[in-house]
Amino acid sequence: MKLLDKIWQKGKEFLQVEYPIVSGGMTWISDHRLAQAISENGAFPVLAAGNMTPDELEAEIDKCVDILKTPFAVNLITIAPNYRSHCNLILRKGVQYVIFAGSFPTKHDIQDMKKAGKKTLSFASTKSIAQRQIDYGVDALILEGSEAGGHIGYVSLSILLQQVLFEIRDFPVFVAGGLASGRLMAHLLLMGAYGCQFGSLFAASKESNAHPRFKDAFIKARARQAMATPQYDSRLPVVAVRAIKNRATEEFGKLQIRLLQQLDKGEITRDQAQYEAEKFWVGSLRKAVVDGDVDFGSLMAGQSVGLIKDIKPIKDIITELIRDAEDELQRLHSLFESL
């Protein structure tokens, strides 16, 4: 038996897949086609609900039910306008796993899914949030460091590992954010992780439906170019978004200033301002992923883009992750035997 098989068995059993390698739920990218490629290669596929209409999401779910060889999860964005409709849809569909993203689910949301026979996973960006989700009854946590792409928290993965992974024992915890190598995956598994989630790595895969210019931007980008958007004023709380710096990044800054000016004049409410800020990212992400507008579209990406050098098939990506993880474990095994 390989060393890898010994340390990720719990993750395999929880996800019911050959490899507890999770494909991140990426809006406009994580569709049934990417899910199929992930599933066929033994990893865990995730379908991104984003802000699809209920009919669109139902069609994608039905395709996944028909073609996937493994269980799959639907990633629900709790701050999306269609979130409640998505929840109601999932409750009656053949989806075995639900991942709550964007913000944090209520206890009611978690319990409803569990009563419907779904396994629930939720992101935890701090120790207190992790404990609250556990108290609510969530089945597993995903620790995602601020190195990740898209909507992010404010704490780096190195801190979350110490605050949560090292403190919470005998509970399923998966790790995400800035990951792109099997060697690091091996160390995270040794630390106690049940598995690892990769986003940007799969977004730049051959099977990803993202526009070629979107993928090319990933290949060319350096880690430091994947920047998090700042919040200009506490009156306009915005969830930080990490993306490759371009004109869209600049435009979002200008949008915040305009919205704050409108708030000062009483022209809009705080909720309306937050909605406009979130709508910007929904629209600009589609521009980049679907239309290939890499100047004014949002190039949501984690800092791991600095480690992505070419576009590979999913099979090659997963094979490489497993090979490098096993090699690293064997290296460590030899090191400890020699002590």
Same domain for 110 and 239, yes or no, is no
Same domain for 194 and 222, yes or no, is no
Same domain for 57 and 201, yes or no, is yes
User: Residue 209: is it exposed, middle or buried by C-beta count within 10 angstroms (0-12/13-18/19+)?
Assistant: middle
Which CATH number is 102's domain given?
3.20.20.70
Above 90 in pLDDT, residue 197? yes
In a domain, 267, yes or no: yes
Whole-number Cα distances in Å, 217 to 16, 91, 297 = 34, 38, 11
Query: How large a percentage of the chain has pLDDT more than 70?
Result: 100
pLDDT tens figures, 58-107: 999 999 999 998 999 999 999 888 999 999 999 999 999 999 998 889 99
The type of residue at 292 is: G
How many folded domains does the chain comprise? 2
In a domain, 294, yes or no: no
Same domain for 202 and 65, yes or no, is yes
Query: How large a percentage of the chain has pLDDT more than 90?
Result: 82
CB 60 within 8 Å of CB 235? no
The most distant pair of C-alpha atoms in the chain lies apart, rounded to whole Å, by: 71
In a domain, 334, yes or no: yes
In a domain, 301, yes or no: no
Same domain for 169 and 259, yes or no, is no
Same domain for 13 and 141, yes or no, is yes
pLDDT band for 1, please (50, 70, 90 cuts).
Answer: low
In a domain, 298, yes or no: no
Same domain for 108 and 254, yes or no, is no
Token pair for 233 = 């004023």
Task: State the Cα–Cα distance between residues 104 and 175, nearest whole angstrom.
Answer: 17
Same domain for 116 and 239, yes or no, is no
Above 90 in pLDDT, residue 231? no
| Domain extent for 318 | 3-210+309-338
Stretch 207-217: mean pLDDT, rounded? Answer: 97
Q: What is the pLDDT of residue 202?
A: 98
The type of residue at 180 is: A
In a domain, 297, yes or no: no
Same domain for 25 and 142, yes or no, is yes
Task: State the Cα–Cα distance between residues 173 and 127, nearest whole angstrom.
Answer: 12
Same domain for 235 and 173, yes or no, is no
In a domain, 326, yes or no: yes
CB 61 within 8 Å of CB 31? no
3-state secondary structure of 126: coil
Q: What is the pLDDT of residue 299?
A: 95
pLDDT tens figures, 111-144: 999 999 999 999 998 889 999 999 999 999 999 9
Above 90 in pLDDT, residue 292? yes
In the DSSP assignment, the letter for residue 137 is T
Same domain for 69 and 95, yes or no, is yes
In a domain, 251, yes or no: yes
Q: What is the pLDDT of residue 79?
A: 82
Same domain for 142 and 14, yes or no, is yes
